[in-house]
Amino acid sequence: MKVLILGKGGREHALAWKFARSNRITGLYCAPGNPGTDELGTNVSIDANDVDAVVETAVRHEIELVFVGPEEPLALDVVSALADRGIAAIGPPASSARLESSKAFAKAFMQRHGVPTAAAKIVKSESDLRTFVSDNPGAVVVKMDGLAAGKGVREFDSATEALPFAETALKSGPVLLEERLHGIEVSAFALIDRNGHRILPPCADYKKSGERGTGSNTGGMGSISPVPWIDDETWDAVERTIIEPSIEGLRNDGLDYTGVLYIGVMLTENGPYTLEYNVRFGDPETQVILPLLRADILDVCEAMINGTISRCRIETDDLVSVGVVVASAGYPDSYRKNTPVTMDNVEGATVTPRSLDRLIFHSGTELNEHSHLVTVGGRCFTCVCRDTDVFRARTGAYELAESIHFDGAWCRSDIAARVFGS
Ligand code: AMP
Ligand code: GLY
């Protein structure tokens, strides 16, 4: 089968790596991909958000399945455009992708279907904003309604402190003002088709730039799966009160969905609450989950397309997988680009993941005109190690991170450390 993956990050490198392990793959393309995906298949240099170019590429290469990595092409309805040409895709149409592309739509969906979530108000004008602030002085989270690549959400200790950010956010559209929750975050992933679903093991990412969850929100500075500090009873509650009612809600609202639903959850002392929906896999969660998945990803995708995912065996290795992101100087604010990269013990410029247990996935990297590897993004690599023991997995992931050198490279030092009481 010929497969096209849309996107260019670590998530897409991990997807390409997993697809490349299938012995039924007859062609693997990534658009636009990165130096890591180029070693596993063929990169096609188009913009994944250019729907016409994606369809044209898929037709030209006789692609049978498109896996959509990021949210933007989904919001632009690439899935319906491909369906019009008879090409199957993993990812929902734009009508369902609104669960991610509009926080207001997602909040109304949660409320309608009884999915626990923080109380929230949508404000559209400065005067509504000022009324909210005087009526609700407490801690608040401000969320821009539309897609903002992780930059549209900020938490504040009081509504007054939130005012400047909320005022700026209002200039680009409606803003959600939400009760601030406290607890432990977990990422839930469900594979959904028209008839059923399967839930993947719990995963956690580390959203903040600073140690112990301080600093600004990022795309994610590390990840772990399964999550050693989440017990079966807690996870059962997440499945029962959040994941299943959400999927039931899709069916009741007649929202088509073939793909991955990613639910951001806060485990509070009053039980699990939904923070957000994403209509795709997470990055860097994918980089730790896929190496644990025993199944051929092509079988899983075909099951989703055929509506038989609930009959698919989704077994994972009994190991823990830890991912550490290596980022550019300055990230998540403006960051340096075109910094040359070298890697220890590696011939040539790029690294193809070497074994199942120690993997380096490229994100914001490129080969420049001299074929030298340089950084071009904020998050440049995800270093993943799997082991039976979380301490060894964590140590292994950091060893890989230390084997990557570029000016200003940094990573959080406390990924997966929580289990040791920090
Ligand atoms: P979101 O894009 O809605 O998931 O928000 C990004 C991050 O902001 C989440 O992963 C949380 O760390 C934080 N966040 C979002 N909503 C809330 C909330 N209601 N209370 C506390 N933190 C939140
Ligand atoms: N890890 C967060 C995201 O993929 O949105």
Domain endpoint, select from 38, 69, 93: 93
The pair of structure tokens assigned to 58 is 């898929």
The pair of structure tokens assigned to 221 is 């500075």
Domain endpoint, select from 311, 329, 345: 311
169 versus 237: which is more confidently predicted? 237
Q: Taking each helix axis from N to C terminus, what angle separates 297-306 and 10-20, rounded to the nearest 10 degrees?
A: 100
For residue 180, give the ligand 1 atom closest to its CA.
20
- Closest Cα partner for 4 from 42, 45, 51, 50? 42
Ligand 1 pocket list (CB less than 6 A)? 118, 141, 143, 153, 155, 178, 180-181, 185, 207, 217, 264, 275-276
Q: Is 290 in the same domain as 352?
A: no
Task: List, for residues 236-289, the tens digit of each pLDDT value.
Answer: 999 999 999 999 999 999 999 999 999 999 999 999 999 999 999 999 999 999
Q: If you measure from the C-alpha of residue 153 to the centroid of ligand 1, how many angstroms do you get, rounded to a whole number? A: 7
Domain count, the chain: 4
Asked if residues 221 and 206 have their Cβ atoms less than 8 Å apart, the reply is yes
The pair of structure tokens assigned to 1 is 């089968």
Residues contacting residue 187 through CB under 8 Å, at least 6 positions apart: 202, 203, 204, 205, 262, 263, 264, 265, 282, 285
* pLDDT greater than 70 at residue 419: no
Q: Is 128 helix (H, G, I), strand (E, B) or coil?
A: helix
Task: List, for residues 178-205, the tens digit of each pLDDT value.
Answer: 999 999 999 999 999 999 999 999 999 9
Work out the mean pLDDT of the chain and round it to a whole number: 93
Distance between CA 402 and CA 414 in Å, rounded?
14
Range of the domain at 327: 320-405
Nearest CA to ligand 1 atom 10: 207
What's the CATH number where 32 sits? 3.40.50.20
Which ligand lies nearest the alpha carbon of 182? Answer: 1
What's the CATH number where 376 sits? 3.90.600.10
